[in-house]
Amino acid sequence: MKKTDKLNNIRNIGIIAHIDAGKTTVTERVLYYTGRSHKIGEVHDGEAVMDWMVDEQERGITITSAVTTCQWKGRDIQVIDTPGHVDFTIEVERSLRVLDGAVGVFCAVGGVEPQSETVWRQADRYKVPKMAFINKLDRIGADFFGTVQMMRDRLKAAPLILQIPVGTEDQFSGVIDLIEMQQIRWDDDTLGASFSVGEIDAELKDDADMYREQLFETLAEVDDGIMEAYLAEEPIDNATIVDAIRKATIALKLVPVLCGSALKNKGIQPLLDAIVQYLPSPLDVPAIKGVHPESGETILCPPEEKAPLAALIFKVSMIEGRKLSFVRVYSGRLNAGSDVYNPGRNKKEKLSRILKMHANKRERVDSVGPGAIVGVVGLKDSSTGETLCQPDHPILLEQMDFYEPVISVAVEPKTHSDQEKLVQVLDKFMAEDPTLRVREDPDTGQMILSGMGELHLEIITSRMQREFNTQVNVGKPQVVYRETIETRATGSAVFDKEMAGNRHYGEVTLTLEPLPRGEGNRFASRLADDALAPALVKAVEKGVMESLESGILMGYPVVDVKATLDAATTRESGNTELAFTVAASMAVREALNQGNAFLLDPIMAVEVIVPEDFMGDVIGDLNARNGKIEAIEPKLGVQIIKATVPLKQMFGYSTSLRSATQGRGTFSMQFSRFDRG
């Protein structure tokens, strides 16, 4: 087989969905029908192959994205299972970075829920071509066409219906394929492994004709060839239709829609066919770009074996005490036993093993090329979001933006032996999860964990106790703030000490001034070039930046300030970097004291969906919580209220919304920015 043929055969896909839409069940069925797993694990029995962490089994939700490779009709499909809870959007983003295509799974009863919208928009942002699978057609209240309409309204997607369901709720028996114009019926006795393809039932023929007509109309709108043939009423063969759909999907113009019931084993094989037919191979997506770490010059990473290596670490997991890094190769080859270079850390690393992943089972391989997504053992220092390349061809792939942790809890070890374990365990968690931050409270000595949301921290503290047998008392969740200053202020400090027989001297005057929100921190020097040795200016900058890591009010990071070095005094000898770093840090603290420091609240973007009747109460409640209403959009009998609200006002919101709307309101929220609360 030619190399390009091999790349053509790869489909790197993710399954994205709202919590409970059925991603795990769909993935399970995919593994079953592709022959990699011989038993269907039901999520509600806590047996699913992908959900292998105890916590996930107990909660029935998928927390960690696991990648798994399977084969379908000669193609390699690599599935990344992504989490649906908004606390874990970072995991979703990480996976989206390395995918070439995605399947959105929707529940036919719940339709497109706010969190599916969030994930869908993230996929849009990364320009990921998508398909949709409308699941749970066997459930009471299932509404296939209603869900398709919601895709138009809520996701602003252009759905292309390729199948219509036959029967609904407990009568759901199969689908009509609108391209082949055939009816597919699944055999319940073989868990859906066998199915028959035959003529469309007479009473469904008219519907099928109408939806096939619609399919052509939709396709003709985005494809000139189809348009011409359609207008001229010429016959269009199926291969041409498939080809046009593939092009439109990859060009992000249309979203092919399929349907079924994963739990009842219906609809999965055509979904696999469609993944292969319509979603892109690594050759079909634009080559990603990186930059040269020094010159900043743009470098393209074509999916070619001969090109220099460019690979991205998108996840790090600690499994059985070993660090396993998940890597996507874009260009070149990754070879077991070889050295790779991490330019972000200026470090060489050795790859000891490359593993193809099947949920928690692994297969060793010697070498992989472009398009591969594999687990790698042996990387010591590299972490999530970093690039691996060849030392003689350094490249930095774009950094991923991480979300701010906004909630924290204090944890206290229960016994002395727990105390010893705690630090090690936390180190492991931090290696896996860049959104988790840990610091020690200087006053109480407690460890403070900060994360993306209450559930995120709950899962971490519960894994700590169960997987690592480290028992802790967990405090109440607290909001994580930032600190900044209101007014410009100056600080001066001298550090003059003899330590271990050496004199250290440094004297610094600097000014802090407020910057607009979201600008971050900056450092500048106003000194003439020869006034202070460059190494000492660097030492001042280091002191400033370190000092800004914890503010004077409550020890939260200080943001949005500019520090300018105004003056520095040296002596004949003893002008050390250490002294200038410490003096700078002391000067910053003085300036913070003078600058009217204040707290910045995490402000959340909140979206509430309520039936019309309850709108007044819900808006009143949001106002009472110091929220700002940004938009109100009516939609099919409900109102979508978009608001920004300080996180500290959102504790207990779900209970209060439930009682204000007789349980009919739903909401989602996401971190927006730090600002005055």
Site string for ligand GTP, 28-47 (x = CB under 6 A): ---------------xx---
Given CA atoms 41, 47, 49, 50 in this order, what sign does their dihedral have?
Answer: positive
Residue among 103, 175, 262, 604 that touches ligand GTP (CB under 6 A): 262
Spatial distance between the Cα atoms of 564 and 586, rounded to a whole number of angstroms: 14
Using the rule CB under 6 A, is 2 a contact of ligand GTP?
no
Using the rule CB under 6 A, is 263 a contact of ligand GTP?
yes
Q: Which helix (H) or strand (E) holds 145?
A: helix 144-155
Using the rule CB under 6 A, is 136 a contact of ligand GTP?
yes
Residue among 11, 23, 97, 463 that touches ligand GTP (CB under 6 A): 23
Extract the tokens encoding 550: 């914890």
Using the rule CB under 6 A, is 95 a contact of ligand GTP?
no
28: three-class secondary structure by DSSP = helix
Extract the tokens encoding 551: 């503010």
Segment interacting with ligand GTP (CB under 6 A) among 133-141, 380-388, 427-435, 610-618: 133-141
Alpha-carbon distances, residue 299 vs 46, 296, 302, 309, 342 (angstroms): 46, 9, 10, 12, 16
Spatial distance between the Cα atoms of 455 and 460, rounded to a whole number of angstroms: 9
Spatial distance between the Cα atoms of 308 and 331, rounded to a whole number of angstroms: 6
17 has binding-site annotation: yes
Using the rule CB under 6 A, is 24 a contact of ligand GTP?
yes
Spatial distance between the Cα atoms of 138 and 186, rounded to a whole number of angstroms: 13
Asked if 78 and 11 touch (Cβ cutoff 8 Å), the reply is yes
Using the rule CB under 6 A, is 86 a contact of ligand GTP?
no
Q: How far is the CB of 130 from ligand GTP (least distance, A)?
A: 16
83 has binding-site annotation: yes
Using the rule CB under 6 A, is 60 a contact of ligand GTP?
yes
Using the rule CB under 6 A, is 166 a contact of ligand GTP?
no
Segment interacting with ligand GTP (CB under 6 A) among 3-11, 12-20, 368-376, 540-548: 12-20
Q: How far is the CB of 57 from ligand GTP (least distance, A)?
A: 10
> Which residues, 582 to 641, sit near ligand GTP by CB under 6 A?
none
Using the rule CB under 6 A, is 20 a contact of ligand GTP?
yes
Nearer to ligand GTP, 14 or 84 (CB): 84
Angle between helices 205-222 and 238-250 (to 10 degrees): 50
Number of residues that bind ligand GTP (CB under 6 A): 23
With tokens 């349907």, the residue in question is 259
Q: Which helix (H) or strand (E) holds 674?
A: strand 666-675
Nearer to ligand GTP, 135 or 509 (CB): 135
User: What are residue 553's phi and psi, to 5 degrees?
Assistant: -80, -60
Nearer to ligand GTP, 42 or 486 (CB): 42
Q: How far is the CB of 531 from ligand GTP (least distance, A)?
A: 59
Asked if 36 and 78 touch (Cβ cutoff 8 Å), the reply is no
Angle between helices 534-548 and 577-594 (to 10 degrees): 40
Using the rule CB under 6 A, is 49 a contact of ligand GTP?
no
* DSSP codes of every residue in 55-123: HHHHHT---S--EEEEEETTEEEEEEE---SGGGHHHHHHHHHH-SEEEEEEETTTBS-HHHHHHHHHH
Q: How far is the CB of 452 from ligand GTP (least distance, A)?
A: 15
137 has binding-site annotation: yes
Residue among 34, 68, 249, 261 that touches ligand GTP (CB under 6 A): 261
User: What are residue 532's phi and psi, to 5 degrees?
Assistant: -145, 140
84 has binding-site annotation: yes
> Which residues, 472 to 531, sit near ligand GTP by CB under 6 A?
none
> What amino acid occupies position 451?
G
Using the rule CB under 6 A, is 135 a contact of ligand GTP?
yes
Nearer to ligand GTP, 245 or 262 (CB): 262
Residue nearest to ligand GTP (CB): 61
Residue among 9, 25, 116, 269 that touches ligand GTP (CB under 6 A): 25
Asked if 293 and 343 touch (Cβ cutoff 8 Å), the reply is yes
Using the rule CB under 6 A, is 456 a contact of ligand GTP?
no
393 has binding-site annotation: no
With tokens 């619609």, the residue in question is 214
Nearer to ligand GTP, 136 or 154 (CB): 136
510: three-class secondary structure by DSSP = strand
* DSSP codes of every residue in 227-250: HHHHHTT----HHHHHHHHHHHHH
Nearer to ligand GTP, 22 or 491 (CB): 22
Nearer to ligand GTP, 81 or 507 (CB): 81
Summarize the annotated binding site as residue ranges. 17-24, 81-85, 135-138
Interacting residues with ligand GTP (CB under 6 A): 17, 19-25, 43-44, 60-62, 83-84, 135-136, 138-139, 261-264
Question: Per the annotation, where are the binding residues for GTP?
Answer: 17-24, 81-85, 135-138
